[in-house]
Amino acid sequence: MSENQTSAETWTVLRLLQWTTDFFSKHGSDSPRLDAEILLAHARQCSRIELYTAFEQEPDAEQRAAFRELVRRRGEGTPVALLVGYKEFYSLRFRVNEHTLIPRPETEHLVIEALDCAKLLQGKSLQAASGDDRGAPLQVADIGTGSGAIGVSFAVHCPSAKLSAVDISEPALEIARWNADQHEVADRVDFVVSDLLESIDSSQQFDLILSNPPYVSESEFAELDRTVRDFEPKTALVSGPAGTETIERLIDQARGRLKSGGRLIIELSPMIADACVKIAEQFEEYGQTRFVKDLAGHRRVLSIERR
Ligand code: GLN
């Protein structure tokens, strides 16, 4: 065997990435190269960046076996985030598992809107000449927190805020707790098991209520990619026949829980955007509404002012 042949047949990092990228692109992945890199880095216990200086290296037999297994499961549809146990969101790493929705990049727009609103509210509070609320920490709720992606990212970037991380699922809250700990905000977070705001003490008033609730309709769910449909928690995705059911309950409940001037900020799908604004407009407690679009130009976040 010549020198050249040997190197051509050696499973270097580069060849593994090339082969796997090709395999994933034939197996329905939207981001085949990225998936291959994340999985190979995981199998080699290194960072993705380190792969780039290791193209010519040969992972050992154990690493190759671990990688093969990950590639097989990804090929069967398992999301990369569930294979490696984490997902990057808002430049932070979030642990995820089968009990939590995998954070999506679109949801970062909600965090940005929430942080913008927080700045305005804090500015107003500082300007206030007097009053008990002057300079008081913002009270913020993340309803249906799941992995804690929204609430924890918000808390990291708004160091004075106090957060209620709420979820109907206890196993999801455990993951949120872990993530809050990891990002050193757990001392400012209350974890509450509740169906939306139902079990939250009614005396508690919030400056901001944030939520990425289930908003997929039953019929849309049937059409979702199997990577989502077969592997992510249905309760975190599906709301009911219309998709608006959970948002409607949340808009209704939040009226009595927001401070005057506070905001309810909800992720939604463009399909139900008009219906959701109409729901908010039925209630006299709510004032101005605005949408934030995602990078695809779709209305993705509805921000509603409490008069
Ligand atoms: N954006 C998600 C999806 O389409 C849905 C998230 C949700 O229902 N909150 O997979």
Q: How big, in percent rounded to 5, are the helix, strand and coil portions of the chain?
A: 45, 20, 35
- Burial (CB count <10 Å: 0-12, 13-18, 19+), residue 249: middle
The response to whether 214 counts as a known ligand-binding position is yes
Ligand 1 centroid from CA 162, angstroms:
26
Co-location of 239 and 280 in the same domain:
yes
Give the position, in ligand 1's atom list, of the atom nearest the Cα of 215: 8
Supply the residue whose CA is at minimum distance from atom 9 of ligand 1.
214
End-to-end Cα, the chain, rounded Å: 79
Is 82 inside a domain boundary?
no
The response to whether 105 counts as a known ligand-binding position is no
Coil, strand, or helix at residue 233?
coil
What does each C-alpha distance from 220 to 67, 98, 241 come to in angstroms? 33, 21, 9
Is 83 inside a domain boundary?
no
| DSSP assigned state of 282 | T
| Cβ burial 87-124 (10 Å sphere, 16+ → b, else e) | bebbebebbbbebbbbbeebbbbbbebbbebbeebbee
Q: What sign does the CA torsion over 66, 71, 76, 78 have?
A: positive
The domain tally of the chain equals 2
Selection from 53, 120, 79, 97 nearest residue 265 by Cα: 120
Give the position, in ligand 1's atom list, of the atom nearest the Cα of 267: 9
Instruction: List, in sequence order, every residue forming a beta bridge with 139; answer none if it has no partner.
Output: 162
Co-location of 62 and 148 in the same domain:
no
Rg (Cα) of the chain, in Å, rounded? 22
Supply the residue whose CA is at minimum distance from atom 2 of ligand 1.
237
The response to whether 137 counts as a known ligand-binding position is no
Instruction: List, in sequence order, every residue forming a beta bridge with 304; answer none if it has no partner.
Output: 264, 289
Give the position, in ligand 1's atom list, of the atom nearest the Cα of 216: 8
Q: Is 153 in the pocket of ligand 1 (CB under 6 A)?
A: no
Q: Is 216 in the pocket of ligand 1 (CB under 6 A)?
A: yes
Res 8: pLDDT: 58
Q: Is 228 in the pocket of ligand 1 (CB under 6 A)?
A: yes
Co-location of 188 and 124 in the same domain:
yes
Cα gap 283→272, rounded to integer Å: 18
Q: At what angle do helices 32-44 and 61-75 cross, to 10 degrees?
A: 140
Q: Write out the two tokens for 25.
A: 């692109």
Provide φ and ψ at 193, rounded to 5°: -85, 120
Counting ligand 1 atoms within 8 A of each CB, the residue from 89, 216, 239, 245 with the most, and so the one to mutate, is: 216
Instruction: Tell me how far the alpha carbon of residue 43 is from its chain's centroid.
Output: 24
CATH of the domain at 267: 3.40.50.150
Q: Is 233 in the pocket of ligand 1 (CB under 6 A)?
A: no
Cα gap 194→183, rounded to integer Å: 23
Give the position, in ligand 1's atom list, of the atom nearest the Cα of 269: 1
The response to whether 144 counts as a known ligand-binding position is yes
Co-location of 206 and 263 in the same domain:
yes
Co-location of 220 and 271 in the same domain:
yes
- Burial (CB count <10 Å: 0-12, 13-18, 19+), residue 265: buried
Co-location of 44 and 151 in the same domain:
no
Q: Is 212 in the pocket of ligand 1 (CB under 6 A)?
A: yes
Q: Quote the strand ranges of the chain, DSSP E.
A: 86-89, 92-95, 139-143, 162-167, 189-193, 206-211, 216-217, 238-240, 258-267, 286-293, 299-306
Co-location of 128 and 206 in the same domain:
yes
Domain that holds residue 15: 3-76
Cα gap 41→219, rounded to integer Å: 37
Q: What is the pTM of this model?
A: 0.94
Co-location of 112 and 257 in the same domain:
yes
Give the pLDDT of the chain (307 residues) as one tens digit per residue.
344 445 557 999 999 999 999 999 999 899 999 999 999 999 999 999 999 999 999 999 999 999 999 999 999 999 999 999 999 999 999 999 999 999 999 999 999 999 999 999 999 887 775 655 567 899 999 999 999 999 999 999 999 999 999 999 999 999 999 999 999 999 999 999 999 999 999 999 999 999 999 999 999 999 999 999 999 999 999 999 999 999 999 999 999 999 999 999 999 999 999 999 999 999 999 999 999 999 999 999 999 999 9
Is 57 inside a domain boundary?
yes
Q: Is 104 in the pocket of ligand 1 (CB under 6 A)?
A: yes
- Burial (CB count <10 Å: 0-12, 13-18, 19+), residue 33: middle
Co-location of 60 and 142 in the same domain:
no
